[in-house]
Structures are given as C-alpha cells and as structure tokens.
C-alpha cells in the first residue's frame, strides 16, 4: 500500500528572494519560573564529570578567489587646444588659459568634467585595453598591411547645363559629410552665354541637390572653410575679387573686395591665417601679388608682396602664382607655385618686403599646379608640375631630393596623406588617381585608379580619414574610399625620417661635387683668357715651336718604321 501526499505551492512563490533587514531585538516569548516545580528536584550524589586536558583540534578549509595586484600608471599630457592656438607658443597658451579662467562657467565646467574624468580613470584601472596577450608572436597582418583598393562611395555632378570645372574642394572642418566645391571655367576668354557663376556646398549623403548655393559676382576658383568658425568661407574669383560668405546669412557674399586695390587676375590660392580674431587671410594670384586681408574690411588689403625674385619689387618682373600652400604647423612661412615653374618660399612676418622671399626653388619646366608641405616632416614639401611630382627639402635649393617618373600626361594636383608620412596622391589629366608610397616603391604608384574619362583637376583628402574627393574638368566630384593606406605602420615615421635625411645628405654631396667642378671650369677658363691677353709675338713663337716639334717627332717615327721594314 503506497501512501502519497501532494505538496502544492504557487508558481509566483518559486525563487522569491529573501529580503533581510536590520531591526532591534524584540522579546517574542517570556516564560516565568514556576516555584511548584522545586519539590520535584532531585540532587545527584556523587556527580562524575570527565575532563580532557588535551586541546581539542579541528580542521577547516576555505576556498577564496585569487586577487592579483598590479601597479599601473598613465601619463596625461596637454591637449585639446583650438586650431588657432599653437601649443608650442607659450605666449598664446598663457593668454588662452587666462581667458578661460576669467570665464564665469570655468569652475562649473571643471567640476562637471572632474566627475566624468574620475569615472574614466576608474574604468581604465579596471581593465587594460592596451594589454598585449601575445607579445612574442609577430603580427604578420600588421606588417603586410591591407591590400590597397579604392571604392567609389558617391558621385556629385554639376547641376547646371553648361558644365564647369571643379577647381577647388574644401571639407567642413567638423562635419565630414559637408563638402564645398568651387566651379569655374579656366579656359582663356571663354565667354559662354548663360553660364552659371554659382558654387555649392554639398551633403555627400544627399547628392541630388546642394545643401547651399554660393552666388559670387564672378566664378570662384578657390574656396576655403574657416577652421576656427566653420560658418565662414573664403573665396577667390576668376576676376581677382575676394569675398567671404556666412552660411547663416544666405547665399550672397557678406563683403567683396575692390578691383582697384585687389588682384587683377584669377585668384588661384587663398588660406585663413591663425589669429585671435579668426578673420585674417591671404591670397595669391597670377598677377604676381600675394595680398593679406581682414574680412572685417575687405575694401583694401592690409599688406602686399610682389613675387619678384630679383627682390626689387617690380610688378613687370613678378612671377604669376598658380598654387599656394600654408600649414598651421609653420605659421610664419608659406609656399607659392608659379606659372614659370619656380617655387618660392616666403615669410609672413619680416622686417622688410625684400626679406619676405626667403628661398627660391627652380623646380619644373611648366606651371607648378600644386605645392603641399608634409604634415609629419614640415621641412619636406611636394610639388606637382608639368608631367611629374617632386619632393623637396628646405635645405636643398638646387634640386629635388626625390621624384616620380615623367608621365605621358599632365599632373594637375596632389596632396599628402594625413595618416602616413610617405604616402601622397596625384591627379592626372587622363582621369587617373595615383597613390604613391615612396617608402616601398619610388618607380611605380602603389595604386592607380581610373576615376573617370574626363581630366582630373583638383584633389582634397579628409583630415585623418581615407576618403578623398576628386574634381574633374566637367564639374564631376567623385568621392573615393582608399583602403590599405589608412594605418600608420610600425616604425614608419622613423623610417621615413631616415629616408628623407639620407636623400638630403646625398643631394648635399652631389651639390658640393658640382660646385667643385664648376670652380675648376671657371679656373680653367680664366687661365685661357689670361693666355689670350699675352703678347701676340710670344704666342706666335710658342705655337710655331710646338708645330715644328710635332713635325720632328713624326719624322722620327717614320724613320724607325722604315728601318724595321726595309
């Protein structure tokens, strides 16, 4: 016979957690003594009690989790300075600190950021994201790198019926999906009826319609975002006019310069300068002038430089500027590429106008379409002209230290990679984009991409990115994502520095040898000129004597030959 009993319990009571709480002690039951029970008490006699004099021993085991204690540290350096502040300048950094400390929200901001920083410091102490688990194994993929490739991510076309050249591209300094494009026709005396003067700001994710239209009085050749205030754009036009736009105020320029006091020919280059106000800029044109401006008063330039390499300041001997480069890392210097193939290195702050032209490089046989300083090595710069790209050093004026081969077509633009120090890009007239890596191959491009069938005219790479924009002669802007060049390889910066230093030393040795040969030739020519200045009679007698000596020597040779063969 089986006896069973069923226990039941509600499903909701399964797994119910125990909620314990602290409370003071309470008396639940109080039993009072009963005197009537004393009569039933019986005494034991005798009473035996066992006593053990040895200590009682017991064995206990506890399993605890292991705790590893390590000593960690983190080196925090200054950073986060605005783009217009040079961290190397003590005067600028001290002035900026005082400005911030006088701000009313300074203490509140520090208190708010302090709590946030404490959280991330504790997070860094909890886990080491830089821990190397396989330090002994060499990362083969890192050494080999990703296979180079290019992928088209977007194509932006000129919305007008009459197509114009995309002469200049400028990325938004903060929002990488915005791209400003300057459109102009650079063909000489091409006056097409109803040709649009407009340039556009595009959202690269919305290629159908421009985000904003810029309407200048003359087609723009160059266009640049203000790195300090992205709402401001600086433009230089085909007629030499300078203007600036505020995207918050509409499509028309806020102010335009005058033709009488400005440039007389197309403005091919313009850059914003580092200043406290963020309103200073400068421009270069084929009229042979470099002008400095303040957009608060564009009616006249604040300063002027004539690109006369004879240092006489003559406009009729000035070289026309067709390209311009300025890097914030070298705030007092800029490069100018000219129509005559000469590259001029200039200084902004100089005691006299003649001292502003510091160096002259005779680089190309034709116009220098682009110049660009290396972002990792400021003493090295790239030039694009005629059919080749050349790499120069500020220390060598006579010749370039490296260069590409001469191509079958013209090179129109070029720029350095912002991630790797030896990688640069070139745009060719046949519509090809070449990617060069001089650390590994100096004879052939590492990657060559046929972007379009039209000639490429302009290039612009996003900062710290692998997306590059290519502008064509018919106004098509192609956005490419370049893979295989976006990661800085191990010790690549040191190797590139050693390569540039080695080439500079080689060029110095060759220049010294060439100078020695020229000195010998000059000495020899001077000696010959000195001989000509001697007495004509003495010269005649000397030549006559040498002539008869040669005849006597020839007679002796014939006599010896006849004696050997009678």
Q: What's the pLDDT score for residue 268?
A: 95
Q: Per-residue pLDDT averaged across 225-232, rounded? A: 92
Least confident stretch, 213-227, 252-266, 524-538? 524-538
Place of tokens 């590259």: 343
Instruction: Determine the Cα–Cα distance for residues 267 and 253; give it in Å rounded to an integer.
Output: 16
The tally of CA atoms less than 13 A away on the side-chain side of residue 265 is 17
Q: What's the pLDDT score for residue 83?
A: 75
The percentage of residues in the chain with a pLDDT greater than 90, rounded to a whole number, is 44
Give the pLDDT band of residue 143 (cuts 50, 70, 90): very low
Q: Per-residue pLDDT averaged across 412-431, rounded? A: 93
Whether residue 238 is predicted with pLDDT greater than 50 in this model: the reply is yes
Q: What's the pLDDT score for residue 60?
A: 79
Q: Per-residue pLDDT averaged across 164-192, rounded? A: 87
- HEC states along 37-92? HHHHCCCCCCCCCCCCCCCCCCCCCCCCCCCCCCCCCCCCCCCCCCCCCCCCCHHH
Q: What value, to the nearest 5°, has the Cα angle with vertex 80 and ends 74 and 85?
A: 135
Instruction: Determine the Cα–Cα distance for residues 281 and 303; give it in Å rounded to an integer.
Output: 11
End-to-end CA distance of the chain: 156
Q: What's the pLDDT score for residue 306?
A: 93
Q: Which residue has the higher pLDDT, 452 or 188?
A: 452
Which domains are delineated in the chain?
A: 149-483 (2.130.10.10), 511-563 (no CATH)
Q: Per-residue pLDDT averaged across 505-510, rounded? A: 91
Q: Which residue has the higher pLDDT, 356 or 543?
A: 356
Whether residue 548 is predicted with pLDDT greater than 80 in this model: the reply is yes
Whether residue 11 is predicted with pLDDT greater than 50 in this model: the reply is yes
Whether residue 522 is predicted with pLDDT greater than 60 in this model: the reply is yes
Q: What value, to the nearest 5°, has the Cα angle with vertex 521 and ends 515 and 526?
A: 125
Q: Model confidence over 425-463: pLDDT tens digits? A: 999 999 999 999 998 888 999 999 999 999 999 999 998
Read off the pTM. Answer: 0.69
The percentage of residues in the chain with a pLDDT greater than 70, rounded to a whole number, is 93
Q: Model confidence over 98-117: pLDDT tens digits? A: 888 888 788 888 888 888 88
Give the pLDDT band of residue 131 (cuts 50, 70, 90): confident
E strands of 296-429, at which residues? 303-306, 321-326, 333-338, 342-347, 357-362, 368-373, 380-385, 388-393, 402-403, 411-416, 423-428
Closest CA to 287 of 328, 331, 336: 336
Cβ of 335: how many Cβ atoms within 10 Å? 28
Q: What's the pLDDT score for residue 138?
A: 46
What is the rounded average pLDDT for all residues in the chain?
86
Phi-psi region of 318 (alpha: psi -120 to 50; beta: other; left: phi over 0): beta
Closest CA to 392 of 430, 341, 434: 341
Q: What's the pLDDT score for residue 146?
A: 64
Instruction: Determine the Cα–Cα distance for residues 75 and 79; give it in Å rounded to an integer.
Output: 12
Task: Give the tokens for residue 357.
Answer: 């032209």
Q: What's the pLDDT score for residue 58?
A: 79
Q: Which residue has the higher pLDDT, 48 or 74?
A: 48
Sign of the dihedral through C-alpha 119, 124, 125, 126: positive
Quick one: which H or E segment has residue 254?
A: none
Give the pLDDT band of residue 533 (cuts 50, 70, 90): low
What phi and psi, each to the nearest 5 degrees, are found at residue 5? -140, 130
Query: What are the strands of the beta sheet with 220-225, ordered from one edge?
Result: 220-225, 232-237, 242-246, 255-256
């Amino acid at each position: 016979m089986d006896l069973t009993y069923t226990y039941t319990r509600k499903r909701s009571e399964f797994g119910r957690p125990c909620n314990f709480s602290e409370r003071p002690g309470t008396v639940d039951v109080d039993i009072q003594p009963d005197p009537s029970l004393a009569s039933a008490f019986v005494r034991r006699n005798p009473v035996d009690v066992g006593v053990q004099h040895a200590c009682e021993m017991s064995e206990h085991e506890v399993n605890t989790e292991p705790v590893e204690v390590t000593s960690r540290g983190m080196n925090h350096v200054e950073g986060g300075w605005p783009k217009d502040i040079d961290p190397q300048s003590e005067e600028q950094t001290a002035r900026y600190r005082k400005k911030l400390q006088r701000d009313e929200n300074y203490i509140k901001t520090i208190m708010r950021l302090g709590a946030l920083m404490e959280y991330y410091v504790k997070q860094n102490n909890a886990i080491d994201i830089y821990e190397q688990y396989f330090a002994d194994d060499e990362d083969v993929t890192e050494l080999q790198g990703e296979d180079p490739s290019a992928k088209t991510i977007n194509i932006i076309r000129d919305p007008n019926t009459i197509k114009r050249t995309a002469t200049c591209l400028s990325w938004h300094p903060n929002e990488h999906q915005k791209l400003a494009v300057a459109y102009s026709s650079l063909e000489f005396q091409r006056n097409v009826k109803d040709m649009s003067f407009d340039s556009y700001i595009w959202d690269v994710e919305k290629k159908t319609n421009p985000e904003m239209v810029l309407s200048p009085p003359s087609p723009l050749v160059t266009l640049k975002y203000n790195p300090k205030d992205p709402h401001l754009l600086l433009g230089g036009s085909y007629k030499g006019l300078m203007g600036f736009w505020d995207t918050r105020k509409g499509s028309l320029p806020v102010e335009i310069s005058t033709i009488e006091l400005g440039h007389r020919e197309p403005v091919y280059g313009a850059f914003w300068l580092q200043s406290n106000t963020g309103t200073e800029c400068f421009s270069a044109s084929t009229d042979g002038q470099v002008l400095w401006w303040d957009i608060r008063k564009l009616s006249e330039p604040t300063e002027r430089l004539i690109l006369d390499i004879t240092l006489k300041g003559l406009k009729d001997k000035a070289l026309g500027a067709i390209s311009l480069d300025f890097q914030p890392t070298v705030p007092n210097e800029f490069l100018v590429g000219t129509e005559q193939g000469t590259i001029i290195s200039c200084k902004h702050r100089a005691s006299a106008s003649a001292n502003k032209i510091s160096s002259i490089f005779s680089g190309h046989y034709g116009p220098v379409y682009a110049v660009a300083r290396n972002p990792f090595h400021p003493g090295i710069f790239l030039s694009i002209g005629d059919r080749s790209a050349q790499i120069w050093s500020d220390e060598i004026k006579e010749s370039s230290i490296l260069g590409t081969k001469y191509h079958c077509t013209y090179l129109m633009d070029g720029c350095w990679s912002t991630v790797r120090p030896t990688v640069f890009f070139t745009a060719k007239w046949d519509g090809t984009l070449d990617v060069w890596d001089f650390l590994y191959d100096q004879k052939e491009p590492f990657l060559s991409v046929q972007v379009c069938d039209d000639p490429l005219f302009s290039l612009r790479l996003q900062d710290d990115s692998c997306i590059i924009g290519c502008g064509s002669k018919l106004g098509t802007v192609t956005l490419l994502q370049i893979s295989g060049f976006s990661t800085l390889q191990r010790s690549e910066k040191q190797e590139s520095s050693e390569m540039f230093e080695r080439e500079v030393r080689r060029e110095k040795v060759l220049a010294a040898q060439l100078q020695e040969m020229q000195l010998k030739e000059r000495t020899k020519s001077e000696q010959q000129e000195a001989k000509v200045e001697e007495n004509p009679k003495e010269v005649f007698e000397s030549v006559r004597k040498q002539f008869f000596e040669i005849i006597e020597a020839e007679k002796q040779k014939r006599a010896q030959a006849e004696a050997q063969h009678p």
